[in-house]
Structure 1
């Protein structure tokens, strides 16, 4: 199975993306999904998307991307977190199946 490249973004690439990164790493591990994770600022997403498979962001997505992009605010608020996890796993499976 292909190892995915996942961008985890927030406004500054430090605070909230660190929290979300840990949750995403755990989610992928629980579901046997292989991935490299890259913590970035949302302003870097456009320039890094060509080498990535998925963008997970804690902040508003300022544009459209060539890769699937997911708003991850539920990982910070706890509201809708399980639904978001299901959505991400489903999305990853679709990416892996090409």
Structure 2
């Protein structure tokens, strides 16, 4: 199976996506999920979104792509994060 690719986005590609990316990387490592991770601003989805298996966003996404998009805000806040982690694992292990 090819290694999955995950894109993390936020408005600027710097602040909230960094925090969420670090937490998801740790979550994946703990569960033996091997993936490649990238981080950009949300506007980049229009150009590169289709190149990824999953997009985790901490802001509203207006671009239309076939790649699944998961709301990463619960990971940032800690409220409802278990369901988000489960969805990420489901997508990356499919």
Is the 1:75–1:81 Cα contact (8 Å) retained in structure 2?
yes
Q: Distance in 2 between matches of 1:90 and 1:31?
A: 12
Unaligned runs of 5+ in 2: none
Aligned to 1:88: 88
1:63 Cα offset (Å):
2.8
Aligned to 1:8: 8
Q: Distance in 2 between matches of 1:81 and 1:38?
A: 20
Aligned to 1:35: 35
Aligned to 1:79: 79
1:76 Cα offset (Å):
1.1
Q: Distance in 1 between matches of 2:16 and 2:10?
A: 6
Aligned to 2:60: 60
What TM-score do you get using the length of structure 1 for normalisation?
A: 0.89
Unaligned runs of 5+ in 1: none
Structure 1 segments of 4+ aligned residues over 4 angstroms from their partners: none
Indicate the RMSD between aligned Cα atoms, in angstroms: 1.1
